[in-house]
Structure 1
Amino acid sequence: MREKLESRKLVMGNMSMHSKVVKEKVRRQEEQLSTEIRSLLAGGNSLSEAKKRMQDSSRSLAGEKGYGHLKKLAEIIESEATVYVSQVSLLYPVKVVIKKAPEQELESFSSSIKSGVPDGSKPVDQGTLTISGLHLTVIPFTKMSFFTDKKEVQRSSTALGYVAHAVSLIASYLQVPLRYPLRLGGSRSYIRDYSPSIEHSASSTTLDSTTSASTKPVEFPLFVEGQDSTRAAYAVFLLNKDLEQLLNFIGVKSLGPRQVLANLKELTRTILSPEYIDM
């Protein structure tokens, strides 16, 4: 009888110990589950707040100051730029006239540019370009002497001043900072080169070594009178580079390194074309 009681006590003790172990295990699981529930609640709150912020952002984008508004504003700015460029083209019209002596022209223009006539073939309709009725001639830049026609020099300087002003205006309308900034002064305008040691060494070796070594911008005259003709020729080269920059900005290739007026005409023509306006 006593042995049975002892056996039952032992069984009851084991059951009690097992019960305590199970209770402790359940308690730990409850704590873990409670922690996970709190984590899920916190995650749910964060998700709810993120969703609310996303909805607010969507409403903001669709609102008066959202993406649609910005797109309309950009279209208005582009249309205004087109209007301003059209005024520039009226102020400084670039037109084709009957060609003079070929060796005297800095600018030549032919129908081959648009019609696709291969290089080397003679186009039927050939002429030169003028800006406000003025030609750009090459003689003042290569054969400046005592006998050079002063009126011809002045006309070329005035024409370059017109081009410089037109380029400056169009760049401001398109909000494009020019790689070679201009200092406007009519027929006494200048263009600045911030890397003369690189750019000018390929075009001329007549500048002082102190100029090429300087880190400050160097100004080159867009006129010949009283200036080194090589510096003036380099200024025209930089002016055409500015035109090339603007053409590339609107997705058009330059017509050539010596085509200052042709590039200006192509620039205004493209900006005023329906294809560009509808972009």
Structure 2
Amino acid sequence: MEPDRILSPDPSTSKSKPTESEKEKFIEWEDYEHEVARLWSLSSSLNESKQKKQNFEQKLRSLIQVKEEALSRLNKLEEMKERVEARKLVIERIKGQSKVAAENSTKEEERLSSEVRSLLVAGTALSVASKQLQDSRRSLAGERGYVRLTKLQKKLRLRQQFMISQVSLLYPIKISAGPSEEQELESFPSSSKSGLNLTMAPFTKMSFFTDKKEVQRSASALGHVAHAVSLIASYLEVPLRYSLRLGGSNSYIIDCAPSVESSDLLSSTMLTANTKPVEFPLFLEGQDTTRAAYAVFLLNKDLEQLLNYIGVRSLGPRHVLANLKELTRTIQSAEFLDS
């Protein structure tokens, strides 16, 4: 049987003098196993307590970190609360200023409203007085102006009558009675006041075999009519719808915008240029009879325009001389001065 082992600390590692509790302890062999088991249990308990301590330290660190973060957030919240309070104070101050400004603007608005009402009353009174003054001036000046305007119009009418009478003397009109509306045009010789009758067949019935003298007389008569119409329109200051290019017995009338109906009378070459001004001859020699007839139709349209201007109805689309005579007669009448 081995001698009892002595469980004591290493004397080489001991730095201080052993205390009474650290003295050598002798264990009997019979109690050795029991003592080892007890020491093993104590060691296990120590390790377990160490592990618990470490876990507790980790939990404590996490709690401390959470506490620090909470304190940091609390500090931020406090700062934000202070800012909010400061902004509330600013808003309260602005509200107070805006309330004062609103009260001042209300007072100013009431003052301006009272001034505007007084201005409206004064403006109404002024407008009434101004209107009464204008009415009195108009009534006074209207009578004088109307009389003056009437005199000026009468002078203008007298001048127009005189000029048209000169045209009548230059081109005296004489119409022969006959059964057909299309039968007559007359010449207007300046050397004769009676005029020479010129019977003319309708242009559409004339042909290459028509008497050349009759064709020339017709061209001369139409040239005189065109000249008379041009003079009367200029004296009345009426722009003719169909302008004239005077050339004696070779005169033309111009249609600036031929209509669809009038273009049916033209040749196929004229249909392609119906948007341009077209000249139609007031004579037959070397011309298409349809174009010449349409020229006479346009000339009569100018006469109708002048008749409508002085308030007289036309006698018809084929009564060129009759319309011209009615035009000159009406202008030289006494009713024309009062129109």
Higher CA-based Rg: 2
Q: Which residue of 2 aligns with 1:144?
A: 207
Q: Which residue of 2 aligns with 1:156?
A: 218
Distance apart, 1:68 and its partner CA: 2.5
Letter in 2 for 1:69: R
Per the alignment, in what secondary structure is the counterpart of residue 208 of structure 1? helix
Q: Which residue of 2 aligns with 1:178?
A: 240
Distance apart, 1:57 and its partner CA: 4.2
CA distance in 2, matches of 1:242, 1:30: 70
Distance apart, 1:240 and its partner CA: 0.9
Q: Which piece of structure 1 moves more, 158-167 or 242-251? A: 242-251
CA distance in 2, matches of 1:244, 1:73: 27
Q: Which residue of 1 aligns with 2:300?
A: 240
CA distance in 2, matches of 1:137, 1:273: 30
- Distance change (3 Å), C-alpha of 1:237 and 1:32: closer
Q: 1:82-93, aligned counterparts within 5 Å?
A: 82-93=161-172
Letter in 2 for 1:41: A
Distance apart, 1:207 and its partner CA: 4.5
- Distance change (3 Å), C-alpha of 1:55 and 1:151: same
Q: Percent identity?
A: 53
Distance apart, 1:60 and its partner CA: 4.1
Distance apart, 1:97 and its partner CA: 3.8
Letter in 2 for 1:89: S
Q: Which residue of 2 aligns with 1:44?
A: 125
Match 2:256 to one of 182, 189, 194: 194
CA distance in 1, matches of 2:329, 2:206: 33
Matched, 1:231 2:300: no
Q: 1:205-224, aligned counterparts within 5 Å?
A: 205-211=266-272, 213-224=273-284
- Gapped regions of structure 2 (runs ≥ 5): 1-109, 189-194
Q: Which residue of 1 aligns with 2:146?
A: 67
- Distance change (3 Å), C-alpha of 1:88 and 1:56: same
Letter in 1 for 2:291: R
- Gapped regions of structure 1 (runs ≥ 5): 1-28, 109-127
Q: Answer 1 or 2: higher relative contact order, Cα 8 Å, separation at least 6.
A: 1
Letter in 2 for 1:151: K
CA distance in 2, matches of 1:31, 1:205: 77
Deviation track 1:180-228 (CA, whole Å, cap 9, x = no partner) reads 11111111111111222434135x25352545x4322111010111222
Superposition TM-score, scaled by structure 1 size? 0.69
Letter in 1 for 2:212: K
- Distance change (3 Å), C-alpha of 1:96 and 1:33: closer
Match 2:227 to one of 155, 165, 173: 165
CA distance in 2, matches of 1:208, 1:197: 16
Distance apart, 1:41 and its partner CA: 2.5
Deviation track 1:27-58 (CA, whole Å, cap 9, x = no partner) reads xx999777644432233234333433444444
- Residue-pair matches, total: 225
Aligned 8 A contact 1:220 1:232 in 2:
yes
